[in-house]
Every structure is written in C-alpha cells, then in structure tokens.
Structure 1
Amino acid sequence: MFRFKKFNIEDNRCAHKVGTDGTLLGAWVNVHNEKHLLDIGTGSGLIALMMAQRSATDTRIDALEFSMPDYSQANDNVKHSPWPTKIQVHHKRLQDFETLKRYDHIVSNPPYFNNSFKPPVASRVAPRHTETLSYTELLEHSKRLLTSTGKLSVILPYTEGLQFIRLAETFHLYPSRQWGFRARKEKPIERWLLEFSQQQENVDEGEILLYEQDDEWSLDYKRLTREFYLKL
C-alpha cells in the first residue's frame, strides 16, 4: 500500500504500478476552476485521486480503465478515499467511450513504447506499449471530448514527447506548458510534462529536478509534491 497525506493506494492487482510519472503528472496538471476532468488509463486511480484532492468540491472526474484488474482496484481505491462520489471509474477503452459531456481537462499517463521490445508478461504490455492506445487515437478522441477551451496534459519520455508535440499539431492542439524533468542537473531530460491547448499561445516552459545534491529531493520537487508525500 502507498500512503499519501489524504488517501491510500493499493496497486497489487494493477499492471500499471504507482510510480514517479503518475505522481508528477497528478501534482503538475492545472485543475484550478475546472469542473469536468477525464483521466485516461487510470490504472490504480492515482492521478484521478490526486486531481480530486486538488480540485473544487463540485468538480467531477471520469476515469477510464480497460484492464479489469486495474479497473477493479481503481474502484476500490476510490471507494475507500475521501472522494467516492467525485470520481466515477468506467471499464472502457477511450476509443469506445461515448458521452455527451465535454471536458475542461483530459489527463493521461499514456503508453509510450512504440517499437521497443515487449515484456514477456502479457499484463505488462498494455500500460507501456501503444498497441492498445496509439498517440493518434489519444489525440483524436481527446479532441472529440474537449470543450473549445479544454486542455490535454500528458507525461512522456524525451523522444516520444517531441514526436507527440509534432503529431498534436495535426489535430490543432498546441503546447501551452512544456516542462522537462530530469533526475540531476548533469543528466539529460528524461520526461516531458506537456499541456496542450486548442489555441496557439505563449508556452510556459520550465524544468523540475528530482535531486539537488546527494539523494536530497530538490526544493522544486518538494513544492510540487508536498500536498501528497507523507514525509514532506
């Protein structure tokens, strides 16, 4: 069990485990004054629960998960959280999700390996490889489900993130925030935190370091995650 300040997460039945990527995105995404949120590929429900903690009391969150073990565990985590009526978990693929709602913000920690070696355990393939949800499908259906002023936020590795930015432009989705994440100053950027808008605007560019010196978390990382980690 992962214990956060206001909720707990069990992920023993999930293919997509709790990790730094999901925690980063859940803490970074802008949910201020947004009433309808969608989490695509919720896994254990981590990002949906982080958004529930950070958003207004009348905000409603839909979370999609196609893997039955993950869907079941996300449901359990939501039911035992402080926000059981704020989040609804759907056993659906994004490609099959039909709703009259339009969302102010869509968030996803998406599959990211396009052509790499697949792990031997079948349950580990879907969360990490794009066979179940391609970048094109993610962008196409996000565009379909967003309000005219809605945003899409994702976290991706360095190369895949740059590819995603180029592909997003074909759907008239443009970066509005683009932050790099690296473990240490001397290391290359490992992840992009990306927010897309349907209007071209000035891009908020930033960077987050995990460690400043030795194994001490940086001040920026502590500020970003202090609402969640027990030790902060």
Structure 2
Amino acid sequence: MPNTYFQFKQFRINQDQCAMKVCTDSCVFGAYVEASKAKQVLDMGTGTGLLALMVAQRSEAVVEAVEINPEAQAQAAQNFEESPWAERLKLHPMPLQEFARTCTQQYDVILSNPPFFLASLKSDDAAKNTAKHTGDLLFEDILTFAQERLASHGKLYLLLPPAEAQHFAELARSYRLYLNETLEVYTRTGGKCIRHIQTYTFAPTETAITNKLDIRQDDGTTYTAPFAELLRAYYLIF
C-alpha cells in the first residue's frame, strides 16, 4: 500500500486521496523546471500539487494550479495550505477549459505532467484514467491555452513518455510553439528511456538540444550523482 504522504525537506505531500502518487519522474520534472526569475507560473493538472510546490520552493513566483478531480483538488488545497508558501499558491478547482474562459494572466512559465496514454487500454479505476489518459486534458487544450497565455519570453514545460512527446512536438508547431530542449530520463545507466522533459518557446530553433539523465547507476539501485544533485534541495536522503 502506498504511503499516505511523501516527506520532502521543506514540505509534505499528502496523497491518500489522489489516484496518482508521488513518483520519481515527476520529482525530476519539478526539480528541472527553471522558474527562478519567473513572476507568474501555472501548473496544469496539478494533482497533489507536487510540481507547484517544488517550483514555489525555489522561486518567488505566484504559482497557480488547475485541477479537475475533486479528490485531488482537496489534496492539493491541503498541501498548499500546509506549505511555507501558502500565500503564493493559488488553486483553481476546475477544468483547464473552464479556467481558460476567464483567465487574463500572462505566465512566464507553464508546466504540465498531463494525461498521456493516447492508445493504451484504460483501467477500471476512473480517477486513475483521468490522471493518466488523454480525454479531460487534451494536448490541444494545453497548446491553445499556452498560445494565448504564455508570455512572449515564456517557457512551456511538458513531461511525457517518448512516443507521446514526439506527437506533442509535431502538434505544437501548428500553435507556433517550438521544442527547444529535451531531457531524456532513463531508469538507469544503459536502461530504458521512460520520459522526455520538453521545453517549448515561441522562438523556432533548427536543432533542439537533447540531454540525458540516468536516475540510477547500472546496478539499478544506487542513484547517479547528477540525479542526486538535481534532487538535493528536495529529497531527505541527499
């Protein structure tokens, strides 16, 4: 049974009511997003609020978050309220499509770990389906919102599996958003690439930069030095 909470150095993620628990690739994503100079940040589909809290820890930005699931809304609200940055965190308990109709803010950073399984079979767990499968938060919805509400200098960050990341990159070009950088995340040295962390801007580039991060060494157990350095501000074990 998953833990009811995940303790970080400066905050706790209560997760007993959420279908999707804290996972390593999400933590890598939250630590990777560059928001140190951002004033306004938006997390689409915040779930427990993990990414919003990770960004709030190392920035002075106002961090807003959108979430459609009622259980996740309650969990994120609790986690925000109990954090040291409650005054800079704002939850919008509604679908992104509804939020988009009234939003007038321009964001320096928009990030999302969206539902991503385009073709895989769904489970019997409705909450997990909403969290993991496209349907309630479509790639087109993310791109439409970003096209309108991302500041001209801003960055859009996505966490996706490799196949879905390629699909998103192709789709993004029609919204005038261009892939500038990819961090390929591997389970271990010599292991499988499980996620792409993508950075999009409005500035076209001939060749996007690609970097690589191995979570564990080839023994499958020991964390790599780059992973430890990336998560040092968050994980209790480092």
Q: If the length of structure 1 is used for normalisation, what is the TM-score?
A: 0.96
Per the alignment, residue 69 of structure 2 pairs with: 67
CA separation in 2, counterparts of 1:150 and 1:223? 26
Matched, 1:129 2:133: yes
Shift of 1:18: 1.2
Matched, 1:194 2:198: yes
Shift of 1:164: 0.8
Per the alignment, in what secondary structure is the counterpart of residue 227 of structure 1?
Answer: coil
1:21-69: CA deviations, max 9, x gaps?
A: 321110000102110000000000000000000112xx10110011111
Specify every segment of 5 or more residues in structure 1 that has no aligned partner in the other structure, as ranges: none
The 5-angstrom pairing of residues 100-139 of structure 1 reads 100-139=104-143
Matched, 1:220 2:218: no
The answer to whether the 8 A contact 1:21-1:109 is kept is: no
Per the alignment, residue 211 of structure 1 pairs with: 216
1:64-89: CA deviations, max 9, x gaps?
A: 01111100110001111101111001
CA separation in 1, counterparts of 2:200 and 2:131? 22
Larger mean CA deviation between 173-182 and 36-45 belongs to 173-182
The 5-angstrom pairing of residues 8-157 of structure 1 reads 8-56=12-60, 59-97=61-99, 98-157=102-161
Matched, 1:181 2:191: no
Match 1:2 to one of 3, 6, 9: 6
Per the alignment, in what secondary structure is the counterpart of residue 183 of structure 1?
Answer: strand
1:99-132: CA deviations, max 9, x gaps?
A: 2111001000000011211011111110000011
What amino acid maps onto 2:230 in structure 1?
L
CA separation in 2, counterparts of 1:157 and 1:91? 26
CA separation in 1, counterparts of 2:65 and 2:160? 19
Shift of 1:187: 2.1
Per the alignment, in what secondary structure is the counterpart of residue 115 of structure 1?
Answer: coil
What amino acid maps onto 2:22 in structure 1?
V
CA separation in 2, counterparts of 1:136 and 1:170? 10
The answer to whether the 8 A contact 2:108-2:154 is kept is: yes
CA separation in 2, counterparts of 1:184 and 1:69? 33
Per the alignment, in what secondary structure is the counterpart of residue 106 of structure 1?
Answer: strand
CA separation in 2, counterparts of 1:109 and 1:102? 20
Pairwise CA RMSD: 1.1
Per the alignment, in what secondary structure is the counterpart of residue 170 of structure 1?
Answer: helix
Q: If the length of structure 2 is used for normalisation, what is the TM-score?
A: 0.94
The answer to whether the 8 A contact 2:190-2:218 is kept is: no
Moved over 3 A (4+): 201-204
What amino acid maps onto 1:132 in structure 2?
D
The answer to whether the 8 A contact 2:189-2:218 is kept is: no
What amino acid maps onto 1:76 in structure 2?
Q
CA separation in 2, counterparts of 1:195 and 1:46? 19
Shift of 1:149: 1.4
Shift of 1:144: 1.4
What amino acid maps onto 2:78 in structure 1?
D
Identity %: 33
Shift of 1:188: 3.2
